[in-house]
Chain A
Amino acid sequence: MSDRRLIALGLALIAACAFFLFWGLKGPAGFILELRAVKLASLLLVGAAVGVSTVVFQTVTGNRILTPSIMGFDSLFLLVQSLMVLTMGGLGYAMTGGPAKFLLDTALMMAASLALFSLLMGRGRGDLHRMILVGVIFGLFFRSMTAFVLRLIDPSEFAVVQQVMFASFGAVDTTQLAMAAALFVPVFALLWRLAPSLDIVALGRDSAVGLGLRHDRLATVLLLLVSALVAVSTALVGPVSFLGLLVAALAHQLMQTPCHALLLPAAAMIAGLVLVIGQGVFERVLGLQSTLAVIIEFFGGLLFLYLVLGGRRR
């Protein structure tokens, strides 16, 4: 029964990809197709990373409301970017393109996210109020710091930072994409192998330990994998705050199962669907570009409010 839903998702995703690639194809087909294929690949990769990482993160932290982004990850990304502009100068920042900046971004974000996530473990796990507060406070702190740093830099350099403040699937470097893919494949493979253990982690620490799972070690490994996924996808396209929340909620709603071997692929495909269809409709049908992030934030934000106010705590 559950597998049929996965197959349906897969078919829908293939259809969406075909629509994205071939809709309104005019002029030099080869050139356009190549451009679109790169964009499609980045949409699918980022979607899978965001979807899978959010589901894993929510399972490890034992809640259904918080995501890495809501924990202040995005504000941290902006802070790191504006600090880089401040220290290197706008020109230096713009010049440090390609693999070097990508690797630097990823490493910085991974280190920072691990520090951030470690606040969630230990005795605070399962204490939703504490986690939301930590997220809100850190998000606010990072944003204020960013605003402060932005005051310090030159107005012309401010434009450089502004460029990365919203997610953009328009300008993805193929080298970066290949590097991201090379990192994601082993991470996904490892998570796939850990999927049955994730089902046990979801029962909470006490039950998991009681069942003989090496819970604390596994939780650290999982959070490390999550931070790798989040860091790379943020470095690739920029922050997409509420996409993960939207996708994880949809995946749980659709699959209605505790089995992560089904949840993880479902989340990856739903995220791909949302991004591909959204981006396709915005580019081709509405003729607007790079506002997809705004729309996702809008609906994701509404969902977040619904989850917080609606009383469904888990």
Chain B
Amino acid sequence: MIAVRNLSHRIGGAPILTDLTLDLPKGGITAIIGPNGAGKSTLMGLMARLLPIQEGQVEVDGHCVARTKTEALAKRLAIVTQRVGVASRLRVGDLVGFGRWPHHHGRPRPEDHAAVERALEAFDLLELRGRFLDELSGGQNQRAFIAMGLAQETDWLLLDEPLNNLDMYHARALMARIHGLSRAGVRSVVMVVHDINYAAAWADHVVALKDGKLDFQGAPREVLTSARLSELFGMKIGVEEIAGRPTVLHHA
């Protein structure tokens, strides 16, 4: 369980998160939704200690993020952000290999190579392993970065907007893979999603943020209602049940 307690965060005086308290259940997929500027990415950054915690506390399986050694935390929690500033010209295989860093610190052992193989295989990257990242399509790139997070072999996998820039086909394929991981009980996945329908279709738990506060949370079927979503996004949103799942109609 990731326990967030009284978390507040300000950037340049502007409040991003205000006294946020919530629990993210272990196992399955948790989707964080909310309008732009609700503090979703900031929450992810604080949970993964990419940002220093200003006020409040975050615990990952009982380990306080602020006080646990960053090397130890890297074996419990992996984060994949929207990739920025890779200075090296990397091959896919090398990138995924770097996911093993927390375990070997520069001296890979046989079990590290095996873990990289598994991650490459899980994301169907074996044929692409020799290709350079800048030769790949957006979807392949995204897969390679998530495979790196997977190779880290942590209990928790945090994905910040993994579906960004993916078309319907690739977004679905990626979600199916992530879902498979969470079902096998290997990873607990927390992800920021913009398209509510993906959250409705794949997530086990939905957390909605608005203006840096918790708006609602719960199982998609229970909380993704027309009233709640309309209030969350400040517009009229219809929700119909299609094929047993809540389906969001933003044009209603």
Contacts and interface: CB of A to CB of B under 8 A. Distances in A.
Interface of A: 58-59, 61-64, 125-126, 196-197, 199-200, 202-207, 209-214, 252, 256, 258, 314
A214 B83 CA distance: 19
A204, A210, A211: most-surrounded residue (chain B CB, <10 A): A210
Contact of A204 (B70, B83, B102, B107): B83
Given A211-B98, A258-B94, A206 B88 contact: no
B137 to A, nearest CB: 17
B197 interface: no
A204 B74 contact: no
Given A196-B105, A200-B98, A203-B98, A212 B75 contact: yes
A204 B85 contact: yes
B232 interface: no
Interface string B61-72: 000000000111
B216 interface: no
Contact of B88 (A125, A196, A199, A210): A199
B134 A210 contact: no
Contact of A126 (B84, B102, B106): B84
Given A209-B70, A212-B74, A213-B101, A258 B84 contact: no
B105 A209 contact: no
B245 interface: no
A280 B199 CA distance: 67
Contacts of A205: 50, 85
Contacts of B134: 314
A141 to B, nearest CB: 27
B152 interface: yes
Given A63-B87, A203-B98, A204-B84, A211 B106 contact: no
Contacts of B50: 205-206, 209-210
* Contact-residue size bin, chain B (C-beta under 8 Å from the other chain): 20 to 34
27 contacts: A59-B88, A62-B86, A196-B105, A196-B107, A199-B88, A199-B98, A202-B87, A202-B88, A203-B88, A204-B84, A204-B85, A205-B50, A205-B85, A206-B79, A207-B83, A209-B50, A209-B70, A210-B50, A210-B80, A210-B149, A211-B98, A212-B70, A212-B72, A212-B75, A252-B89, A258-B90, A258-B94
A207 B79 CA distance: 7
Contacts of B79: 206, 210
Nearest to A126: B85
B175 to A, nearest CB: 21
B89 A211 contact: no
A212 B102 contact: yes
Contacts of B87: 58-59, 61-64, 202-204, 314
A66 B215 CA distance: 45
A100 B73 CA distance: 48
B88 A207 contact: no
B86 A203 contact: yes
Contact of B81 (A202, A207, A256): A207
Interface in B27-58: 48-50
A126 B74 CA distance: 23
A206 B158 CA distance: 12
Contact of B89 (A125, A200, A203, A314): A314
Contacts of B107: 196
B193 interface: no
A212 B83 contact: no
Interface in B99-129: 99, 101-102, 105-107
B208 interface: no
The 6 closest A-B pairs by CB, nearest first: A212-B74, A196-B106, A126-B85, A258-B88, A62-B85, A204-B85
Given A258-B90, A258-B94, A212 B85 contact: no
Contacts of A252: 89
B89 A258 contact: yes
Nearest to B77: A210
Given A197-B106, A207-B83, A314-B134, 13 more contacts: A62-B85, A199-B88, A203-B95, A204-B87, A206-B81, A207-B148, A210-B74, A210-B81, A212-B72, A212-B74, A258-B94, A314-B87, A314-B89
B78 interface: yes
Interface string B166-204: 000000000000000000000000000000000000000
B104 to A, nearest CB: 9
A124 B175 CA distance: 33
A61 B99 CA distance: 21
B119 to A, nearest CB: 14
A78 B206 CA distance: 60
A207 B149 CA distance: 9
A85 to B, nearest CB: 39
